[in-house]
Amino acid sequence: MKTIEAEARIDKLRELLEDYGYHYYVLDNPVVTDVEYDQLMQELLELEQQYPQFQSESSPSVRVGGAPLPHFEKVEHKIPMLSLGNAFNEEDLRDFDRRVRQGIDDEQPTYSCELKIDGLAVSLTYENGKFIRGATRGDGTIGEDITQNLKTIRSIPLRLKENVDIEVRGEAFMPKRSFEALNKDRELAGEEKFANPRNAAAGSLRQLNPKIAAKRNLDVFLYGIGLLEGNEVFSHHQGLEYLKEIGFKTNQENKHCESIEEVIEYINSWLERRAELPYEIDGIVIKVDSLEHQKELGFTAKSPRWATAYKFPAEEVVTKLEGIELSIGRTGVVTPTALLSPVTVAGTTVKRASLHNEDLIREKDIKLGDFVVIKKAGDIIPEVVNVLADRRTGEEEEFRMPTHCPACESELVRLEGEVALRCINPKCSAQIREGLIHFVSRNAMNIDGLGEKVISQLFEHELVQDVADIYKLNREELLNLERMGEKSVDNLLAAIEATKQNSLERLLFGLGIRFVGAKAAKTLAMQFETIDSLNDASYDELVAVNEIGEKMADSIVSYFEMPEVQELISELKELNVNLTYTGPKISVEAVKDSPFAEKTVVLTGRLEVLSRNEAKEKIEALGGKVTGSVSKKTDLLIAGEDAGSKLDKAESLGIEVWNEERLIQELENN
């Protein structure tokens, strides 16, 4: 075969296989037999091997999986993938509807309802109609690049029917049939079975070898548009239709509802029918259909105000309480945990459930050896619902909380006004370990690669006893630990070194001062600027700070009075850990003269120079309060490109409006 003929045949085979695959995997309407499809695929593979100059990342042949990956790269989502708020009953749904109507001036919203697929949220990016990147949700801002694994999912188009630039969101999942086949194979191979399809799907997509992912027969439903260039979509259901038109697989069970009553009817119709589906669902997602209304409603820090997830009632099962285990948290609180006979709840094996505190054990009359009803709160956290007292044999035993700490044997105390027992020994080994885990966590110092397991290992080998020891770790010590190779050790040491430059608020939160959360740590850091100034602050100076209450002020003073804390600060200074606030500063004079002082500001539209977060930080640093919706209380609207209903509403209310150029000018003048 001549080269030009081979190229033409390869193009033709790709075209045929794409079309056949679309009919089979997306439309569920095969137009050729499996044998014919496999023969054409084999011919394509052979030609691509014979003529490597014609290989393409968008060829159907990539579905079989490429070479193993060394690791997953990090990907920043241009539009954050926020989680949804939850609704658990009809009252929650009607409350959601009330908040929506209030947010759009009592207009009657319509809703789009979709099945909440139990899988792994993914983001797919296409340029000029070609699939270029796929990522996990991650923390909503940063995910992992799993493009090669996603290419093995045959219902994900590698080329769209239109040459558009688009980023879409969806749920990758493992159908029940694929899950059962996978677990059967693992059982025959003597491997541990997956607990549920969700875990199996997540595990498959995080395989470094795409060939493994290719064998798992995953599927996907696309449910939303993140970014779309050059095309107008005005409602969510219209967006779903557009996704379908250009080649994406969407769930056909979605429904457009005219009222919250229709939403409730839709939910009730699926409560009993969910078991009939060929895939797992754990609820229903409800979204305000109008994109204009979505813009108007905006977002909280964690979730959109225009959407919620109705979670199906938790499955309740009966099992035996074999024992109660005690754990010590970083603040010394003793928490009892029920040890259960293993039982399957909502698709996972449960062996433990929280009992919270001694008062709850007494209130529910829980005894060792009882048969208990357990459920997963929100389908996530196992909890004991009640005891089956009529099944008692008389052999059950009363449980009594200890008088001394199970970790350090110090006497436990119950502080006035608290229900929890607490160990107040600052040298308690359990508290130190938990405190270290908190110190390295994402919202604190955020030391990449230093998670709970590594901290536990370091603690067990007596390499760390306090947070300063983390900055004293050396290469030789770490290389002697299990599963710590040269590259991982070098990466870990580099990550630790980098966090020495963190701004003071991260350190303050990481130190775990009682009652001081992330927000209070930021307030304190901005106010006092250095740890020495905070150390010297009196109780009266602390309570004078906005949002710092009496209990917190008392806790801060008590913390810095401890000799071991003074010693720790000295050590951190010697180790060159930054103890100064390096974020945007608030000048009292600047705030007093600022055009934003004590004003409520709303940002809308697309900003070209500043990011939304940058603008928000700068405005707040000058005494302004940034909110998400326009109301009579709004003083100023900053309107970027493509400003929509918020601009219209602001103008109708006579609210002052600036463009981004004016915003930047005012910021520079202050």
The CATH number assigned to the domain holding 157 equals: 3.30.470.30
The last residue of one of the domains, among 391, 423, 455, is 423
Look up the CATH number of the domain holding residue 618: 3.40.50.10190
Residue type, 294: Q
Residue range 33-60: mean pLDDT, rounded: 82
What's the confidence (pLDDT) of residue 624?
Answer: 84
Task: Name residues whose C-beta falls within 8 Å of residue 382's C-beta, 6 or more positions apart in sequence.
Answer: 345, 350, 352, 353, 354, 374, 375, 376
In a domain, 76, yes or no: no
Same domain, 239 and 143: yes
Is pLDDT at 191 greater than 80 in this prediction?
no
Close Cβ partners of 325 (under 8 Å, ≥ 6 residues apart): 336, 337, 339, 352
Q: Which residues pair with residue 397 across a beta bridge? A: 368
CA dist 257 and 113 (Å) reads 7
Question: How many domains are there within the chain?
Answer: 6
Given CA atoms 227, 231, 235, 240 in this order, what sign does their dihedral have?
A: negative
**354 and 487 part of one domain:** no
Q: Return the bridge partners of 222, or none.
A: 170
- Percent of all residues in the chain with a pLDDT value above 70, rounded to a whole number: 96
Q: Which amino acid is at 15?
A: E
Which carries the bigger pLDDT value, residue 282 or residue 348?
Answer: 282
How high is the pLDDT of residue 51? 86
586-636 pLDDT per residue, tens: 555 556 678 888 888 999 888 888 877 788 878 887 888 888 778 888 999
User: Is 116 an annotated catalytic residue?
Assistant: yes
Segment holding 384, helix H or strand E: strand 381-387
In contact, 142 and 76? CB cutoff 8 Å: yes
Name the residue range of residue 628's domain: 588-669
Domain assignment of residue 75, yes or no = no
Contacts of 516 (CB under 8 A, 6+ apart): 508, 509, 524, 552, 555, 556
Sheet holding 307-311, edge to edge: 85-87, 307-311, 281-288, 111-117, 255-257
Whether residue 79 lies inside any domain: the answer is no
Q: Of the listed 116, 249, 311, 522, which one is catalytic?
A: 116
Residue 379 has a pLDDT of 47
Of the residues 383, 406, 423, the one at which a domain ends: 423
Do 339 and 412 fall into the same domain? yes
pLDDT value at position 64?
66
Are 527 and 605 within one domain? no
Q: Are 307 and 320 found together in one domain?
A: no
| Same domain? 236 vs 116 | yes
In this structure, the answer to whether residues 307 and 319 fall within a common structural domain is no
Q: How high is the mean pLDDT of the chain?
A: 88
Q: Are residues 516 and 621 in the same domain?
A: no
- Alpha carbon 131 to chain centroid distance? 24
pTM: 0.53
- Render pLDDT for 634-665 as a digit per residue (tens, 0 to 9): 999 999 887 877 888 888 888 999 998 889 88
Instruction: Choose between 15 and 240: higher pLDDT.
Output: 240
CATH number of residue 452's parent domain: 1.10.150.20
CA distance 431 to 443: 19
Total residue count of the chain as it appears in this document: 670
The reply to whether 51 and 130 lie within a common domain is no
Helix residue ranges, H only, 80-219: 90-103, 147-150, 176-188, 197-205, 210-215
| Pair 46, 124 in one domain | no
